[in-house]
Structure 1
């Protein structure tokens, strides 16, 4: 389990562990099919669909999933991928040190102010723990204005809109320097 710091609020530590597609599928199923997760595009997924999707990711050398914990309880999902091999192939020219990222915060009836920003900060900080990572790449749906604001808050700069098979996306990048300047987190 990797402790993660860099929270912009006093929500406590966030930790990450490798996702277990079978053990974690039930929690993930509730998250990805929740109305707030519409941009995850798994609204109609069955439990078996979720298990299969994350078994494929776990077996993929270019795509990885981690489960995020808050105070020891599952609270968010992090995926990262090599954009030269997954998600963005042929849609932009990847640079050495690029890594793609997705994150999803679990739905809750008791939201904690600043929690989602703490999660994205922790996720990006975790990616920059790898010295080979020079730039984080994201491609959220162009209409997902909430995540655009979060991305900007941690240093992402939009480059352009791209068309993926499943959506029109806003291709954005964040360097170590941009992340540190936006968050105050040294990486």
Structure 2
């Protein structure tokens, strides 16, 4: 079986190589299933899904022009999951005026075998850089569960502006957006703080 193309990769001192590749259902579904069943992923709402249901879920995503799924690799090992979607295809699209250049994002970083300081932030930067590498993308939209206390500081550090709470199927969520300008400014600020 041929390896999927690597869409983006970079070596990060103290972290290792991070890369993003299209999700290959046959190669990655067992890994994704293990992640999505863990307590770590309870905000995804798929803990009770069987391997077959996860396979069907990603098969449906792959068939849709509005969704893409990717696997993130850390030193060639699957470590994070990304969904990129058109906001008009999800419930979030009913809660704001979707603009050309908007893209939605869901992220899951697998539970760590060992803690690497700065790892989650490095993954998040890799994902944001990947999304904005598409010149058509002007703004990233997220709708994290209000009680997902782990993601909110990361989102804000990356430049996401939290607008308001909204009711989505199965959760109360924050509606938050990050433009290219927001992200660039936040990244400069993060680099300056890390250097201080």
Question: Aligning the two structures, in what range does the TM-score lie when normalised by the shorter sequence?
Answer: over 0.9
- Scaled by the length of structure 2, the TM-score of the pair is 0.89
* Distance in 2 separating the partners of 1:64 and 1:113: 29
Determine which structure has more spread, i.e. the larger CA radius of gyration.
2
1:80 to 61, 80, 84: 84
> Which residue in the other structure is 2:166 paired with?
162
For structure 1, which runs of at least 5 residues remain unmatched after alignment? none
Structure 1 residues 116 and 172: alpha-carbon distance in aligned structure 2, compared to 1, 3 A threshold: same
Give secondary structure in 2 for the equivalent of 1:38.
helix
2:186 is the alignment partner of 1:182: yes
Q: Is the 8 A contact 1:161 1:171 kept in 2?
A: yes
Structure 1 residues 157, 35: closer, same or farther in 2, change over 3 A?
same
Q: Does 1:172 align with 2:139?
A: no
- How many residues end up aligned between the 2 structures? 184
* TM-score normalised according to structure 1 size: 0.93
Deviation at 1:89, TM superposition (A): 2.7
Q: Deviations over 1:27-74 (max 9, x none)?
A: 011100111111111111111111111111111100110000010110
Which segments of structure 1 move beyond 4 Å, counting only runs of 4 or more? none
Q: Work out whether residues 8 and 130 of structure 2, in 8 Å CA contact, stay in contact via their aligned partners in 1.
A: no
Q: Structure 2: which 5+ residue stretches go unaligned?
A: 1-5, 191-196
Does the CA-based 8 Å contact 1:6-1:125 persist in structure 2?
A: no
CA distance in 2, matches of 1:123, 1:157: 17
Q: CA RMSD in A?
A: 1.6
In 2, Cα distance between the equivalents of 1:4 and 1:155?
A: 22
Alpha-carbon displacement from aligned partner over 1:116-169 (angstroms, at most 9, x marks no partner): 111111111101001111000000001111101110111111011110112110
Shift of 1:5: 4.4
The structure showing larger relative contact order (alpha-carbon pairs under 8 Å, at least 6 residues apart) is 1
Higher helix share: 2
